[in-house]
Amino acid sequence: MTRGDQRERDRAKNLKKQQDKLKSAGKQGDPLARNASDAAALAAKVEKKKAEEAKKLEEASKAEAVKRVEPKRTKSTATDPGLEALLDSGLSKGKKK
Does 16 fall in a domain?
A: no
Radius of gyration for the alpha carbons in the chain, expressed in angstroms and rounded: 40
Give the per-residue pLDDT at 27: 76
Q: How far apart are CA 95 and CA 19, in angstroms?
A: 92
**Per-residue tens of pLDDT for the chain, all 97 residues:** 567 789 899 999 999 999 988 887 777 788 899 999 999 999 999 999 999 999 999 998 888 877 777 778 777 666 566 777 777 777 666 666 5
Pure H helices in the chain = 6-23, 31-66, 81-88
Give the per-residue pLDDT at 53: 96
Does 52 fall in a domain?
A: yes
Give the per-residue pLDDT at 94: 63
Segments forming the whole domain that contains residue 42: 30-65
Does 38 fall in a domain?
A: yes
Q: Largest Cα–Cα distance in the chain?
A: 116
Give the per-residue pLDDT at 77: 62
Tally of structural domains, the chain: 1
